[in-house]
Structure 1
Amino acid sequence: MLGKSISKNSLLLGLFALVTAGVLAVTNVSTRDRIADAQRAAAEKALYELVPASRVDNDLLTDTLPTPAAMLPALGLDSAEAIHRARKDGKVIAVILPAVAPDGYSGDIRLIVGVNRDGSVAGVRALAHKETPGLGDKIETSKSDWIFGFNGKSLGEPPVEQWQVRKDGGVFDQFTGATITPRAVTGQVKRVLQQVAEHRTLLFELPADAGDSNGR
């Protein structure tokens, strides 16, 4: 009698475990798909904030090339990540590069920086950081319009030596009570522009059919 009871309970427990595992598997798959969709939507939104869809005729999310190894140190990257290309009529009109400012007040500040073909900044966005709420977090567009101050700037306007915050003799504002964060972002955006200028041929002068199999 006791043996039958144990066998029955074991069977029920096994069945319960099997059903639970199935439910968890289904939930995991559906959740993973939703997370992936959300991540894609967020990435797409960020890219098109820098280079509006009206300027391009390709898919910014899929038209990419890996970051050249020579650019990794200056961009603050440990390994190659995707550089997104914006095209119009087959011509690369802008690139969007990943970058990390390693010298934020609370550590790394992950950015994407859009650079137009003429070397001017298309836009900058902070994707992730741990800066102080109410101070350093003003690099977020939801907290401040400070980061829009890079739009249209280039290594010639202002001169490269003025790519600093005002406290350091440059032209970019710092935050009241917080200089380290804007200093870090400003310095990293300047380095991105320098890398784009140095590797211009690789980034912009691509064969017309280079995007046909990757986003065209």
Structure 2
Amino acid sequence: MELLISMRRSTLGIALFAAVTAGVIAVTQVMTRERISQNQQEHQARALYEILPRELDDQLHRQSILISAPELGFAEPITVYQSIQNNEVEAVILPAIAPDGYSGDIRMLVGIWRDGRVAGVRVLEHKETPGLGDKVELAKSNWILSFDDKAMDSSNDPRWRVRKDGGDFDQFTGATITPRAVVRAVARTVQFYESRRPELLTPATEQDAHLTVSGDES
């Protein structure tokens, strides 16, 4: 009988400990998720204004549209930021994913001027090898700046490859997969811009007004 009582107490203690531990883990996950989300948003805001400085448009982070972009690998609609001057979109910044990085997805922002030239590219998140693939970060090297003012002549423009593949972009010593993946992703984003130019260059305010009118009529 004493053994049975002891076993019950032990079981109850273990169950109580497990419940408390699970609760602590759940609360920690919620708090961590919110903090991570906030940090990601702040990082993205900084990247936006690295591509298009605030002196050009300090309202950039507030001017955006939602569009579908399965061609870029996004299952859900993406947020596209618009730099609007005198009621015209002078540049857009789109999210991009390089799914073929050495260690997985490389997430970026790609800025494109109205005329199709690249305004700038910034990497937001990656898991590439430190000292090799991580040179796609501006903090580690200036390589990412090689996209600035580049344009694409056609969908198969041979210049949009790393030098090892006959293109204009340098690869890293000992690491070709990462820069190759980034170049491909940026090229896809420029092609996407060209294919959706009218929609992307319609100011958010006009698109909102159109949606409002359509909703009233229905």
Partner of 1:197: 194
Partner of 1:145: 142
Asked whether the 8 Å contact 1:101–1:185 carries over to 2, the reply is yes
How far does residue 55 in structure 1 lie from its aligned partner after superposition?
1.4
SS, match of residue 161 in structure 1: coil
Partner of 2:70: 72
Partner of 2:124: 127
Q: Which moved more, 1:88-97 or 1:174-183?
A: 88-97
AA in 2 matched with 1:72: P
Aligned residue pair count: 184
Asked whether the 8 Å contact 2:43–2:124 carries over to 1, the reply is no
Partner of 2:42: 41
Partner of 1:63: 63
Partner of 2:159: 162
Normalised to the residue count of structure 2, the TM-score between the two structures is 0.74
Asked whether the 8 Å contact 2:171–2:179 carries over to 1, the reply is yes
Normalised to the residue count of structure 1, the TM-score between the two structures is 0.75
How far does residue 205 in structure 1 lie from its aligned partner after superposition?
3.4
- The sequence identity of aligned pairs, in percent, is 48
How far does residue 78 in structure 1 lie from its aligned partner after superposition?
2.5
Which structure exhibits the higher relative contact order, with contacts defined as CA atoms closer than 8 Å and separated by 6 or more residues? Answer: 1
- 1:174-204 superposed Cα distances (whole Å, 9 cap, x missing partner): 0001000000000110110001011000001
How far does residue 106 in structure 1 lie from its aligned partner after superposition?
0.8
How far does residue 61 in structure 1 lie from its aligned partner after superposition?
1.8
How far does residue 35 in structure 1 lie from its aligned partner after superposition?
6.1
How far does residue 209 in structure 1 lie from its aligned partner after superposition?
3.9
Structure 1 gap ranges (5+) = 1-20
2:55 matches 1:54:
yes
Structure 2 gap ranges (5+) = 1-22, 210-218
Separation in 2, partners of 1:173, 1:108: 20
Separation in 2, partners of 1:102, 1:109: 6
